[in-house]
Amino acid sequence: MPVSDADMVRAWTHVLSLSKLQPKQTVTILTSQTTHPQTLSTAIIAASNLGATVNRLDLSPVNAEFAHSRDSLAYLGTTPLTGNRPAIAALKESDLVLDLMTLLFSPEQAEILESGTKILLAVEPPEVLVRLLPSLEDKARVGESAALLQGAREMRVTSKAGTDLHLPMGEFPVIQEYGFVDEPGRWDHWPSGFSLTFPNEGQASGRVVLDRGDILLPMKTYINTPIEMIVEKGYVTSIKGDVDADLLNDYMGSFDDREAYAISHIGWGQQKRARWSTLGLYDREQTIGMDARAFEGNFLFSMGPNNEAGGSRTTACHIDIPMRNCTVLLDGQEVVREGKVVSLKQAA
């Protein structure tokens, strides 16, 4: 369903207000050829109405010779900001950057955040942004689960399909994604709704069985044939199954990079308004799949870099896999039971 400009301006005003945008602050909107024009135009109106000085920085896309699709997460690391010191300087001088392009997992993003600039990523279609408008309740819910993660030393994930994954934790910080940026140097993604961390380097082990209905991203496909993965010393060492396993093996193998198989972030979805089924309603190039990443009760398993959390591991390949019907335990305490979030009061 199309979204009116008025609804988008109201949505942006809501998110920018939650992000504590003040009059006379500087907002720089980072764009490229894939930026949605309505998202851009309404962001300019909303930020201007709040009294901000608004700039637009438009950069040409890169990585066409490497990427396997138009998805902005299909090839990471090199961005239009790579080596572009004047552009980086302009962003560091801004109070808030609205990233309508995608800098995720790039060293340039880390450098900009270290300056105290806030960055909000927003690249989903307008109707997804409006439906998954963030709230203070989202922040509170994500914060409660983040507190549980912060104090835990091991995550264990099991499922009736055969998953039994052990994930020692504590080396890396816990990251909260609730959809707005209300502190200096904070990054977030509108829409979102989950907390995550990264396992200790080289310590994850066990078995992951992806079942029918689990989702592969950035492929944006529902799995039809089970995939079995063996995890040893922090890396996926085998991927076996039928045609879905063949597709995943072929895609990941094309990067020719061992780090692509390392276990990346781990956590669970908590966005009540996100739906597992939404991905089936969109053409693949219309969305990056945030409904899939955030729907309540999924276990979000991933492979690839950990530099987002301050680690040293980088790779152009990043795989996100929202898994259904998993049980997630922190130090033996259930926080998700067979795909249903356990009451945080019970889990505490």
pTM: 0.94
According to CATH, where is 3.40.50.2300 located in the chain? 5-131
Contact criterion met (CB below 8 Å) for 189 and 19: no
For 129-182, what is each residue's pLDDT tens digit? 999 999 999 999 999 999 999 989 999 999 999 999 999 999 999 999 999 999
For 250-266, what is each residue's pLDDT tens digit? 999 999 999 999 999 99
Reply yes or no on whether the pLDDT at 347 is more than 60.
no
Cα 92 versus chain centre, distance? 22
Cα 233 versus chain centre, distance? 24
pLDDT at 313: 84
For 239-248, what is each residue's pLDDT tens digit? 999 999 999 9
Contact criterion met (CB below 8 Å) for 333 and 347: yes
- Whose tokens are 């992000």? That residue is 19
Topology, domain 5-131: Rossmann fold (3.40.50)
pLDDT at 63: 72
Tokens of 85: 């010191």
Amino acid in position 149: L
Confidence of residue 101 (pLDDT cuts 50, 70, 90): very high
Reply yes or no on whether the pLDDT at 128 is more than 60.
yes
Q: Please count the other Cβ atoms lying within 10 Å of the Cβ belonging to residue 7.
A: 16
Q: What angle do CA 154, 160, 166 make, to 5 degrees?
A: 20
pLDDT at 344: 61
- Whose tokens are 């079942």? That residue is 211
pLDDT above 70 as % of the chain: 97
Confidence of residue 77 (pLDDT cuts 50, 70, 90): low
Contact criterion met (CB below 8 Å) for 165 and 148: no
Mean pLDDT of the residues in the chain: 94
d(CA 242, CA 128): 33
pLDDT at 201: 95
Provide the 8-state DSSP code for 287: -
